[in-house]
Structure 1
Amino acid sequence: MSGIDLGNGIVGAILGVVFATLFQQWTQDLWFKVRRRSAGVVRSLTYRQEPGRAWAAFSLGPLHTPALIVEGDGDRAIAPESVHVQVLEGDAELPDEMVEWRDEIETEESRAAEAGERRPVWNGPRYAVESVEISRSALDEQSEVHLRLRPTDYYTFLAAQQLDRRLPDGTTPRGRYLDPDAPLTSPAFLQCSFATNIAVVTADHLLVVSRRSDRVRMAPGLWNSSVNEGLSRHIDSAGRNAPDLHSVARRGMREELAIEPHEYTLTLLAFVLDVSKRHWSAHFYARLTDLTGEQLQARMGRGVADRWEHGTIEYVPFRTADVTRYLLSPERLHRWAPLAPSLFHLALVHVHGRASVERAEAQVLRRL
């Protein structure tokens, strides 16, 4: 090799090193941008949004529920004076072709009672939901909720729960009366359930989680909110007054956990609809001021009015990561009552803030 060739080789090597040093990062950045933009173009060409779906039910990773959060985000409480409840004249009436379903239930319960086979289901007076209308106050844009109810009873509720039973013409109540693209539109006779669900947190920061008894008629054996109490026309409407949702929640706290109103603070977080079964819920958060988990357990051991409704009570540290792992644990993932996971999420947001909760949930989901 001549001296000229050797010199050219050395110069070329030096220029190569200089070029790599100066332009390697720039080249990598350019290549990354090209790849990212290309992927974005591909996604935009292949993505097809389902039309007409402005609403999405609550989900958390592999946990999917039919709970539609209609009003409330957990961050801002809904004031008691912002909830307006009206009871309309006239019962919610089943269509003629579904009346015989109710008659079947009544006949079977009467037969079971006479035969002494089991404890009969009491046909308690209830409320059907005519509508839930949401607006905002003029000055501060606070939630304004107008809840319109109609009288009904438990047998009508059980008949209306047969949403996928065939009618004489081959259709079903779900197919005939419900529009999946308009989840808030439904006849009152299909919405004969309104309950308060409460996330209770003890003074030592433990979330109370209940498992429904196997003896209850609806959702037996499922993990559920700390307290679940349905509206009752017999109990919650003194005289001709409309029911007060906070009073219903306090009744549930007393009957299911033996806790009196002066022992906790109560906050209304949201209105939520189970779009699968058409069950409405007012989601509450209750913080015990002095009672710890151990003290609550001891008190319940001394007697609870509605002990039969709960099969198990568990206590979970009220931290986002702990609650999220509890919700997603394999033994519970598909054993939740439909409205409970959204309640616990909203309670976490109310206490810890949305950004913190979503960040912690994302970390748990990444480690699954």
Structure 2
Amino acid sequence: MISNFLQPAILACLVISGLTVLILLVRNPLRKLAGASIAYQLWAVLPLSLLAMFLPHRQFLDFADKSMAPANQLISGTTLLEIQPASTWPIILVSVWLIGSLCLLGLLGMQHLHFLRRLGKLTESEGVYLASDVDTGPALTGCFRPKIIVPADFYERYSEAERALIIRHELVHKGRGDVIANILFALLQCLFWFNPLVHVAARCFRLDQELACDASVIAQEPQARRTYAEAMLKTQLSLTPSALACHWPSRHPLKERIMQLQQNNPSKLKRVLAYAVLSCLCSVSAYSAWAATPVSSVAAPIQTGQDADKSEVGSYSVAMDIKVAGIKSSPRVVVKQGTPAAIGIQSEDGQAKWDFSFTLTPAPADKYKNSVVIDMIVKKGDEVIAKPKLITGLGQQAKLQKETPDKQQDFDIAMTANLVK
């Protein structure tokens, strides 16, 4: 089970890293071409590609129609297996991974609580909430019922026009669901806490979010650029930012935001071209992530035809990868616990026939949890080559190898057994 989690998790980390590099390279040219909003939408590539990794594979469906052969079927072309106990390294890696994720999640949670405490007692006024602190806000916080938070001296510090622009800015955040987007990205940071690219991406994501919000406000009020810039300059930057709220902290380069206000709205042709590029990037990235995901990591054990009758408690789905005499084979079988299964393999030159029989039984539950005992006999012709007996965890790959000086009795087998439900 741990191995089944670790492989797709590492693949997801590689996918996130590759896509982050791509986005960081493309976001600035795309913003110059078609504006800040399209650059912010580019970040949708990440969740779409992650979701694509969990979509069912066509190969899996085709395999289910024809490849689950009975265990006693003769398979021509290869050899069978030897197995080693499951390594403890996957358990250690997953434990460290989860501990790091929980630690970062707790840190972000405490940071957000500190941010909320700085707000003090909130006073509602004309649809916004005045904080007790003059150094906190403007901000939008709250997942299901977002509130617009403004500093205590909001009505004294800003002019009427500036107040209207600030409120409109926060309303754009609210309408787009940016608080939820921030929460999801924070969870992505927690999940891949060890990947520095994810933390760089988080900072750039929130900057693009603010630039897109600024662009949306200016698109509605194109004559208010100077007033909007003055409102930014008057804002006291919060010293206690939160990754789970939308606000104007010092991490957002003020100079870049003010310079972005000077850009004119892109033409319709540029927007169409930018959306075409964005659609291609999303499609190619999602498909690549889906295609790179191994079938075994996104799908459950397969049941078809004859196997459906055996799909009861006490049956095992067994996936094998066999190498012998330079030949490879990947048989898949379903066997009932305690019932011997036999596979015969004929070498390509017809000179040697390999036979393997194996029996799967549950391992003692008091000593080995979620494990299976494999009793096996490997024969070449009439000669018994090996009689291994080993224990391996369900869902974990076990390996059996043998090498001889003359290479005549070599075999290399990997086996993964899962309980059929």
Q: Please classify the TM superposition score into its range, dividing by the shorter chain length.
A: under 0.3
- Greater RCO (CA < 8 Å, at least 6 residues apart): 2
Q: TM-score scaled by structure 2?
A: 0.16
Q: Normalized per residue, which structure has more helix?
A: 2
Q: TM-score scaled by structure 1?
A: 0.18
Greater gyration radius: 2
